[in-house]
């Protein structure tokens, strides 16, 4: 076993990553987060790890080189709210912190695996190819995506992608995301709406070539995101910036129908007006190009949307009163 650090450890992907590390016999883990006053601390219940450290204390320890020998640092901590408008905060929290941790890892021969984001692709007008040379053409549509994009650009400028791994996660869903508020996946929101009202509300389409609810996303079950992430922990011969998605987009209608099916309910979908401020910025399609991920050696199949939704609904029914 080896010493591992996971930032954003109580978050959605972070807590599922630790659960899988535990399943593989890894418990010598330093978990780092900022627990604050919400319920994400519950994601750490039942997980095995060596110690917990608050985010600011960890950042101080890194700056003063006060940490023990580390094998791998999974940097998943970030403010991931696409509605956050304090750009200075996002730059410091998401961009600068990632730079500090990356530099610390590189000077100590620590494997550095970090979360980038599909939000860096903006409206998708430049495609979804995870080509490091094409980063300059990308135009993120919100400050969160921009803060992630800035680090990707910095890492390329410094020539670091032959030594580190960045993962552009697409639309990840699954257990342990209940604490995310408005940033929760539609799987969780739909489950709640169906229990409360028996129906799900989706945005109308404002394009003549796309029917209501037929906007598509690359939905990725969280355990598949974790499997891809841990692949680069185990195989250290591959580095670079990689898309992390299924490569198979599915519609909001399909996802919602899968939730109804998992709950053994008849589908009832209502289409609502999209806020005018969102209509010009709304993405009608996302789809990860995953050839680079496959060429790096990650060949595991992705769980189908229907099976992933079924597992998520089962989790919610077992854990939410």
User: Which of 121, 128, 144, 231 is flagged as catalytic?
Assistant: 144
For the record, the structure tokens of 212 come out as: 């209501």
**Quick check: is 144 catalytic?**
yes
What gap in Å lies between CA 121 and CA 142, rounded to an integer?
10
* Site of tokens 């410091």: 92
| Helix 222-234 and helix 12-23, axial crossing angle in degrees, nearest 10 | 60
Which residues, at least 6 apart from 142, have a Cβ–Cβ distance to it below 8 Å? 82, 83, 119
For the record, the structure tokens of 103 come out as: 């530099």
CB distance 284 to 216 below 8 Å: yes
Q: Shortest CA distance to 81 belongs to which of 143, 5, 170, 130?
A: 143
User: Which of 42, 180, 189, 285 is flagged as catalytic?
Assistant: 180
What gap in Å lies between CA 55 and CA 88, rounded to an integer?
18
What gap in Å lies between CA 121 and CA 139, rounded to an integer?
6
| Residue 212 CA from chain centroid, whole number | 26
Q: Are strands 216-217 and 250-251 parallel, antiparallel or unpaired?
A: antiparallel
What gap in Å lies between CA 111 and CA 53, rounded to an integer?
20
Expressed in angstroms, the distance from the first to the final Cα of the chain is 37
CB distance 190 to 219 below 8 Å: no
What gap in Å lies between CA 232 and CA 250, rounded to an integer?
27
**Quick check: is 173 catalytic?**
no
What gap in Å lies between CA 161 and CA 241, rounded to an integer?
7
Q: Which are the catalytic amino acids?
A: 144, 180
């Amino acid at each position: 076993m080896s010493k591992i650090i996971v930032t954003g450890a109580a978050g959605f992907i972070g807590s599922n990553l630790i659960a899988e590390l535990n399943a593989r016999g890894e418990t010598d883990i330093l978990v780092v987060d900022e627990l604050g006053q919400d319920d994400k601390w519950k994601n750490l219940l039942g997980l095995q790890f060596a110690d917990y450290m608050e985010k600011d204390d960890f950042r101080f320890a890194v700056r003063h080189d006060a940490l023990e020998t580390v094998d791998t640092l999974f940097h998943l901590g970030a403010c991931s709210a696409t509605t956050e408008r304090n750009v200075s905060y996002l730059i410091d929290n998401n961009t600068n912190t990632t730079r500090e941790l990356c530099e610390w890892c590189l000077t100590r021969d620590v494997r550095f695996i970090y979360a980038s984001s599909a939000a860096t692709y903006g409206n998708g007008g430049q495609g979804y190819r995870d080509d490091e040379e094409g980063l300059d053409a990308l135009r993120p549509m919100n400050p969160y995506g921009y803060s992630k994009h800035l680090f990707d650009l910095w890492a390329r400028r410094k020539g670091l992608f032959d030594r580190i791994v960045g993962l552009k996660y697409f639309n990840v869903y699954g257990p342990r995301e209940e604490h995310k508020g408005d940033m929760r996946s539609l799987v969780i929101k739909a489950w709640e709406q169906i229990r409360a009202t028996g129906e799900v509300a989706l945005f109308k389409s404002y394009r003549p070539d796309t029917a209501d609810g037929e906007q598509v996303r690359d939905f990725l079950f969280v355990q598949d995101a974790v499997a891809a992430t841990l692949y680069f922990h185990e195989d250290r011969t591959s580095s670079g910036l990689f898309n992390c998605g299924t490569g198979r987009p599915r519609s909001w209608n399909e996802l919602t129908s899968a939730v109804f099916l998992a709950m053994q309910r008849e589908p009832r979908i209502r289409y609502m007006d999209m806020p005018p401020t969102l209509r010009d910025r709304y993405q009608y399609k996302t789809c990860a190009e995953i050839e680079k991920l496959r060429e790096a050696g990650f060949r595991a199949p992705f769980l189908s949307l229907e099976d992933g939704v079924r597992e998520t609904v089962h989790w919610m029914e077992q854990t939410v009163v």
